[in-house]
Structure 1
Amino acid sequence: MATSVAACSLALAACGSKGEAGASNGAGSGTLTIGASLSLTGKLAREGQLTQEGYQLCQDKVNAQGGVDIGGKKVKLAIQYQDDTSKPDTAAQLVDQFNDKGVKLILSSYGSANTEAQAAVIERNGQVMVDSAGADNKIFSKGYKRTFAVLSPATEYASSIVKAIADLAQPKPKTVVFLSADDGFSKTVTEGGMATAKDKGFTVMQPQYFPNGASDVSSSLTKVKGEKPDVIIGSVHLVEGVAIVKQAKELGVTPAGFGETVAPPTPDFAKTLGTQAEGVLGSSQWTDSTKGEDKYFGTAKQYAADIQKKFGHAPDYHDAEASAACLALVMAADKAGSTSPDKVRDALAGLDTTSFFGKIKFDSTGQNVYKPMAVIQVQNGKAVTVWPTDSAEAKLIWPGTKP
């Protein structure tokens, strides 16, 4: 295996400098190598592991159909993984290491901080990266031309929850407060959510911030308890999201409903909280009722069944967005007929397709602003789609929390 990887790396190094000659060498090696630095340990390990699952299923599906068509020759897809330990500096260094080995096509790490660090290196090295999990709009405000995100931007994460509540909740709540981790992604989420809440006529209270990765958010909850907000929305990841719900119960903070980013669609959320998770809303990049299909994964329902079969758990959107990123890179290489990073980059810029993940199309900054997010609610221990209504699996239960 080491020999084939080395040979493939040399082939990709050639394609980075010799265009079509590189595509021929890549096809001749019989393997298309893609590099992926992932958060397999550290504070984002669970999300990183789900991301790896999504990448791995993509490799399996593509290779089951003979591989990637590069200039009329089928080559097998091989994803190389490295653990960045959830640290942005390490994630960036690993992209450089891939480049040193001639690996020019990259799948992103998990999270906005890691992806932002990688994007600068990608641009410098002339590599190309498809981003599966770095949603912060700020990544795409720096003029980068070689990073493309399949997922909806960060500003939509909390905004979608606000829109769902405004559309569906009866009686309509009046006051909203945001509890947010202090990382860049979560702050962008909060800014977008607050703007939407004000636009929808809610009274928006002063947001409360706590350290990224915090498992104790009781101080923030205590500060808002006396204000008795109708809705608490967490701009969080899994650890903080679990903490908000659990500690709110302990402190007697009882809004009509909770909404959170990232955490509720993750299977570990309901598993950890049990009945306390009931009624919590969450925003999701993907659900198994998402419309669209493609030749590798089929429909969203088929994708869900494949994740369940291979990994023994229901899929969440971290799996799906990772598979979609891999799919976009494969489709771009196929469209380009080459593994040249410049030609793959150009093919990505022009990609406009439907898939099991929904629409994949990039604006001039590299963001996929064309795919809406969904809102789920935990009902009977399962995350079900409640908004938008044209893809809803169940009706919103409101109030979402029991007195």
Structure 2
Amino acid sequence: MRARQWAALALVTATLAAGCGSKGQASKGATGDTLRFGASLSLTGGLAREGGLTKEGYEVCQKAVNVKGGVQVGSKRLKLEIQYQDDTSKPDTSAQLIDQFNDKGVQLVLGPYGSATTEAAAAVVERNGQVMSDSSGAEDLIFTKGYRQTFAVLSSARQYAAVMVQALNESAVPKPTTVAFLSADDGFSMTVTQGGTDEARKLGFKVLATEYFPSGTTDVSSALTKIKPLKPDVIIGSVHLAEGIAIIKQSRELGISPSGGFAETVAPPTPDFASSLGKAADGVLGSTQWSSRTAGKDKWIGTADDYIKLFAGQYGGRKPEYHAAEATAACIAMVDAVEKAGSTDPDRVRDAFAALDESTFFGPLKFNSAGQNIAKTMEVMQVRNGKPVTVWPKAVAESPMVWPAMGNHS
């Protein structure tokens, strides 16, 4: 009897020890010689293209870090591993996957694609005490809720259209006087539109109209028909890829040709924009989080030019655009926070993240108390012969803005 009791006690003790050891080790995000990050991404669904570009950016970071020996955590160097799950472009699914990562002990998270999914993920991250490096959730609302565990490397949503208005004000000759906004009805795009209309009125432009359409639609003809008789000098779209392509394509079909041109968020820097539209894409302005002209350097990537070479070497000669670059930057920020913390404990990583103040190939990183990067500004590009060319700010421009724009869609 005594032998059986001792055997039972030993079994219980061993089970508890194994459970505590597993949880304790996993909760710090590291097992053996591996540091694990989790990423819930839109690999299928309406945002799959942008989600795929984000995944490529994370993969560039992983390779760059591991080629240089991995992440220094105290006296150990850990190889970086990123675990991916498909959120199917649905915010609720993203939230569930972040919870699953936490259950598996993965508490250091790389953000999903888009503001809606990032907002859903941030709420779970906060509840669980995880830490998230946000690569693409720009919606300002995310950062008004008092969250302390999420840090965004990118500029805020209000800048996306505002910088294009600023670029038109400084660089377009003759300067346009009237603008009309077309916007998807998701939170990110509506915030972008508000930032753009505020800036336009501040700089003396006349905003003729603001028309909304369902997010993700490929039919924007109703909104275009409403602004056609107003004949704006510039049509500015607060959109993602599918909607941005639809605006240009259906403007041609409806005979809408603004005297100046078109400007859009998100879509123009994406390779699919020019490949889908051909010559119709030429002259369209786009706001971008990063370009080959972005200043800054870090120990993992080097400069923007170095990033282009790394990306091209990893993906068959293709050049990166900003979705990939911001994802790589988010991953680097998390790596740097872990190294500065000297630990994978999420509380210590969180504090180190909040204190980051550094240069990267993506530009400067420095966060306010809400977790937004306050050191970074956006740039404006223009599609020329199917390629993005930086035209603003003038200090980093590859070429002056062409205005009225090429490919006026007449």
SS of residue in 1 equivalent to 2:236: strand
Match of 2:276 among 257, 272, 276: 272
1:381 aligns with 2:381: no
SS of residue in 1 equivalent to 2:106: coil
1:73 paired residue number: 76
2:139 paired residue number: 136
- TM-score of the superposed pair, with normalisation by structure 1: 0.94
2:322 paired residue number: 317
- Please give the per-residue CA displacement for 1:320-352, whole angstroms capped at 9, x wherever unaligned: 000000000000000000000000000000000
Task: Provide the C-alpha distance between the structure 2 equivalents of 1:236 and 1:10, rounded to a whole number of angstroms.
Answer: 47
Task: Provide the C-alpha distance between the structure 2 equivalents of 1:341 and 1:10, rounded to a whole number of angstroms.
Answer: 17
| Superposition deviation, residue 206 in structure 1 | 2.2
Q: Counterpart of 1:127 in structure 2: which amino acid?
A: Q
Q: For structure 1, which runs of at least 5 residues remain unmatched after alignment? A: 1-8
Between the two proteins, what is the percent identity of the paired residues?
61
**CA, structure 1 residues 333+10, in 2 after alignment: closer, same or farther (shift >3 Å)?**
farther
User: How many residues are paired up?
Assistant: 388
1:85 paired residue number: 88
Task: Provide the C-alpha distance between the structure 1 equivalents of 2:39 and 2:109, rounded to a whole number of angstroms.
Answer: 6
| Superposition deviation, residue 381 in structure 1 | 1.3
- TM-score of the superposed pair, with normalisation by structure 2: 0.93
1:254-403 equivalence runs, <5 A: 254-255=257-258, 256-312=260-316, 313-400=318-405, 401-402=407-408, 403=410
SS of residue in 1 equivalent to 2:156: coil
| Superposition deviation, residue 369 in structure 1 | 2.1
SS of residue in 1 equivalent to 2:377: coil
**CA, structure 1 residues 13+165, in 2 after alignment: closer, same or farther (shift >3 Å)?**
farther
Q: For structure 2, which runs of at least 5 residues remain unmatched after alignment? A: 1-18
Quick check: 1:132–1:322 contact (8 Å CA) kept in 2? yes
Quick check: 1:16–1:341 contact (8 Å CA) kept in 2? no
Quick check: 1:67–1:76 contact (8 Å CA) kept in 2? yes
Q: Counterpart of 1:362 in structure 2: which amino acid?
A: F
Q: Counterpart of 1:303 in structure 2: which amino acid?
A: Y
Task: Provide the C-alpha distance between the structure 2 equivalents of 1:326 and 1:381, rounded to a whole number of angstroms.
Answer: 29
**CA, structure 1 residues 249+12, in 2 after alignment: closer, same or farther (shift >3 Å)?**
farther
1:16-27 equivalence runs, <5 A: 22=28, 26=30
| Superposition deviation, residue 72 in structure 1 | 1.9
- Which segment is superposed worse, 316-325 or 249-258? 249-258
1:95 aligns with 2:95: no
**CA, structure 1 residues 202+13, in 2 after alignment: closer, same or farther (shift >3 Å)?**
farther
- Please say which structure displays the higher CA radius of gyration: 2
Quick check: 2:269–2:381 contact (8 Å CA) kept in 1? yes
1:5 paired residue number: none
Provide the alpha-carbon RMSD of the alignment.
1.4
**CA, structure 1 residues 11+289, in 2 after alignment: closer, same or farther (shift >3 Å)?**
farther
Task: Provide the C-alpha distance between the structure 1 equivalents of 2:25 and 2:168, rounded to a whole number of angstroms.
Answer: 50
2:5 paired residue number: none
| Superposition deviation, residue 305 in structure 1 | 1.7
**CA, structure 1 residues 193+295, in 2 after alignment: closer, same or farther (shift >3 Å)?**
same
1:220-231 equivalence runs, <5 A: 220-231=223-234
Task: Provide the C-alpha distance between the structure 2 equivalents of 1:74 and 1:53, rounded to a whole number of angstroms.
Answer: 24
- Please give the per-residue CA displacement for 1:152-199, whole angstroms capped at 9, x wherever unaligned: 000000001000000000111110111000000000000000000000
Quick check: 1:12–1:104 contact (8 Å CA) kept in 2? no
Task: Provide the C-alpha distance between the structure 2 equivalents of 1:102 and 1:116, rounded to a whole number of angstroms.
Answer: 21
1:4 paired residue number: none
Quick check: 1:140–1:366 contact (8 Å CA) kept in 2? yes
- Please give the per-residue CA displacement for 1:33-57, whole angstroms capped at 9, x wherever unaligned: 0000000000000000000000001
Quick check: 1:40–1:46 contact (8 Å CA) kept in 2? yes
1:45-64 equivalence runs, <5 A: 45-64=48-67
- Which segment is superposed worse, 362-371 or 324-333? 362-371
